[in-house]
A and B are shown apart, each in its own frame.
Chain A
Amino acid sequence: MSAQRTALTNPSVASAPRLTRAAEHWIGSFVAMACPCEVLIEECTSEPTALAIVHSVARCAWSIEQRYSRYRNDNIIHRINTANGAPTEVDDESANLLDFAARLTDLSEGAFDVTSGVLRKVWIFDGGDRIPTADQIDGLRNLIGWDKVVWRRPVLKMKPQMQIDLGGIGKEYAVDRAVEIANTLVPGVSCLINFGGDIAVRTPRSDGKPWVVGIESIERPNEPYRSVALRSGAIATSGDSRRFLLKDGKRYSHVLDARTGRPVPDAPHSVTVQANTCIEAGTFSTLALLHGIEAEPFLRDQGVRFWLQ
């Protein structure tokens, strides 16, 4: 749900990662989860090592995309979504993600829910003005709600036609996983992982300098609004800069409250949060959007550093 995250309508074409040299670091780049991904590696590393890091990180991203994209028919999400009321046993990693998602539903008092993806059948956020009718939304309400799911790890059972979508946490999870892989591969070498604007660094650079991270301006895409010097930790952004509906002068954010099946009114366009891990930063920013006009007080209560646009 981050600003930079485009809808996963077209599975990424996995072309080989590229490695280029910048003034003080290596830049590895590839495409995964329908967004540009980068790995910055500090310059003390040799070219073959840098290339190996980039390949491992890309494999990690593609693998998570393959396992959790809801647009594929060969993964656990497809099996769950097509079980038609039958129980599905899931692997450990998927179970961890489902546990985490369930916790987020708790923490957001039901506003965040991985079963709310079915709303996309009626809410089509293409910048147009097609607002679904109340009947259309209410027709889907009985398919939404984690409380309608029976989750006894490792077995998940839900009503026929209910669907699960881990898109709301998948990219941040991939960033944290990738950071860990790089850290295991070359301990002590600073690598910055950037998957479409969701960013994490585990090890600070050995030259003592920070990584410079630009937060994209919502009014002027492709221009940094703020530059942040990041030594370690993570930054994630959620927003609706490119995904919204506009009708009668009213802007409908793509962030849907699972309890109402409707966009949250008066949500900020973009929320960027800094936290220790990318999944935490992403959760704070997503939950902030779900707080609508209360986004800022919510973030203040969390005691995190944040930027609202």
Chain B
Amino acid sequence: MRLQLIDDTTMNDERNNPKNIGAALTAASCALLGTAVAAKAEAQELHRWFFDTALLYYGESDDRVQDLSATIGATRDFGDERSLGLTLTADTLTGASASGAIALDRPQTFTSPSGNAFYTTAAGEVPLDDTFLDTRFALNVNWSQPLGRLYNVSGGVGFSTEYDYTHLGVNLGLSRDFDKRNTTLSVGLAYSQDDIDPVGGAPLPLSQMLDVGIQSNKLSTDSKDVIDLLFGVTQVLGRSTVMRVNYSYSQSSGYLNDPYKILSVVDPVTGDTITRVPTVGLSGPDGVYLYESRPDSRAKQSLFSEVKHSFAGPVLHVSYRFMTDDWSIDSHTLETRFRWPVGSSNFIEPQLRFYTQSEAEFYRSSLVSGRALPEFASADFRLGQFDATTIGIKFGHRTAGGGEWSTRLEYYQQSGDVPEEQIIGNQSGREQYPDLSAVILQFAYRFKLQ
């Protein structure tokens, strides 16, 4: 069921619309009922609470990152298109993630991020930092309402906290309808301030990983801020097709490093990590590893377009996103979903997504000993070149009470490459960029209360 609310302006426009029979019908009704003045219709939708809850599991292969997340969203409808939204999220992240160091034919020892322990990676394995454990809570509050007769305005604040990270954000949005709501233009502005308080402190960029217990290269906290701007057009193309195009610009500045990512410093001929001996009496790394260094600003632009078409029942959804930034990462995302009704209260929705990105200009799988240090370097696989494919299927069921539950299962497969010219000596025989696969399972339940 669709609800149409027509604002006063639209109604004024209707008076000149030749297809509008209102005046003729009112005259005919008055003649029939013999009443000159009928009661003016005054009605509104009742206040309602809408709830959107979800439980999501994300699990990477080989005991890497596992995430369990629970979300409760509540929307209170105050009528006349005014609504308040609240979203509360809690998630727990465990498992190991790649540290950025390259694999070697010998075991490697590292100081853990806290600086007060060490861990060892077996020969031939891409080093993972397995001390990864975090719990995050997030709360978002949003208000939306019409402004005047043509505009809709929304504003919100968001807050999230986890062990080493605090985020505070505000956002504002404004949209205007044209052409009897067939066209909507929107602009959005968001600002966020994030404070980073890494376990064991934020390391100085390109400083060396030191022995356990020595913290001289670590600062306490750092921060970044992000400004996002968004311009969007939504256009109704006929009765069953809607198209949306968004352009967004995002400017981050401040501390943009991942404080736990490192690079191996390697021999220019063999490509093996330069060995190091911990200070007598201390444990510590047995190779030379430097903490990564990223620029302190990043400007991203993205263009997103989406078409939804309804085939009198089934709904096809196709979207494409292009993103480019001044770190020279370009990415393309192509996604399609097809919602197929099964009976009157169920649907099945297969989904397919392709993603590809180029590497950042300062992406290095390793640093070469004896050469001048670059200003910026990172071996974080997420800044490297990779492709990813996601296939998924969602099953949904509408309940008797007007709610809907759904189950979504997705399989994610990622494979990346290190640029040929960065592979030195023995490295060519080893795994450079490990493939990653993940399973995503989500249960969601939506319902409403009066």
Contact = CB atoms under 8 A, between A and B. Distances in A.
Given A227-B46, A306-B4, A219 B41 contact: no
Contact of A107 (B24, B312, B450): B24
A302 B26 contact: no
A287 B39 CA distance: 22
B216 interface: no
B1 A204 contact: no
Interface string A154-177: 000000000000000000010011
B344 A276 contact: no
Interface in A30-65: none
B29 interface: yes
A260 B291 CA distance: 79
Contacts of B21: 107, 287, 302
A69 interface: no
Interface stretch (B5-13, B144-152, B160-168): B5-13
A305 B6 contact: yes
Interface in A97-123: 97, 99-100, 103-104, 107
A233 B43 contact: yes
A20 interface: no
Contact of A300 (B4, B402, B450): B4
A230 B5 CA distance: 15
Interface stretch (B30-38, B128-136, B170-178, B363-371): B30-38
Interface size of B as a range:
35 or more
A300 B344 contact: no
A266 B19 CA distance: 20
Contact of B38 (A97, A277, A297): A277
B14 interface: yes
Contacts of A308: 1-2
A232 B1 contact: no
A104 B27 CA distance: 12
Given A220-B400, A277-B38, A300 B45 contact: no
Contact of A233 (B14, B19, B39, B79): B39
Contacts of B22: 302-304
Contacts of A299: 4
A213 B150 CA distance: 28
Contacts of A104: 28
Nearest to A279: B29
Interface string A187-224: 00000000000000111100000101100011110010
Nearest to B7: A303
Contacts of A213: 43
Given A220-B400, A226-B3, A274-B41, A301 B46 contact: no
A212 to B, nearest CB: 7
B41 A223 contact: no
- Sorted from nearest, which 10 A-B pairs have the closest CB atoms? A233-B41, A303-B14, A232-B39, A231-B42, A303-B11, A301-B19, A103-B28, A227-B46, A276-B38, A230-B43
B275 interface: no
A229 interface: yes
Interface of A: 96-97, 99-100, 103-104, 107, 173, 176-177, 180, 201-204, 210, 212-213, 217-220, 223, 225-235, 266, 274-277, 279-280, 283-284, 287, 293-294, 296-309
A97 B44 contact: no
A96 B34 CA distance: 9
B268 to A, nearest CB: 70
Residue from B3, B14, B26, B28 whose CB has the most chain A CB atoms within 10 Å: B28
Given A217-B402, A225-B1, A280-B26, A303 B44 contact: no
Nearest to A230: B43
Contacts of A303: 6, 10-11, 13-14, 20, 22
Contacts of B344: 219
Contact of A276 (B11, B19, B40, B401): B40
Given A303-B11, A305-B6, 14 more contacts: A99-B31, A107-B21, A107-B24, A180-B33, A201-B39, A203-B39, A204-B42, A219-B344, A226-B1, A226-B45, A279-B33, A280-B29, A302-B21, A305-B4
B282 interface: no
17 contacts: A96-B32, A99-B31, A99-B32, A103-B24, A173-B32, A203-B39, A212-B46, A217-B1, A217-B402, A231-B43, A233-B42, A235-B43, A298-B19, A300-B180, A302-B20, A305-B6, A308-B1
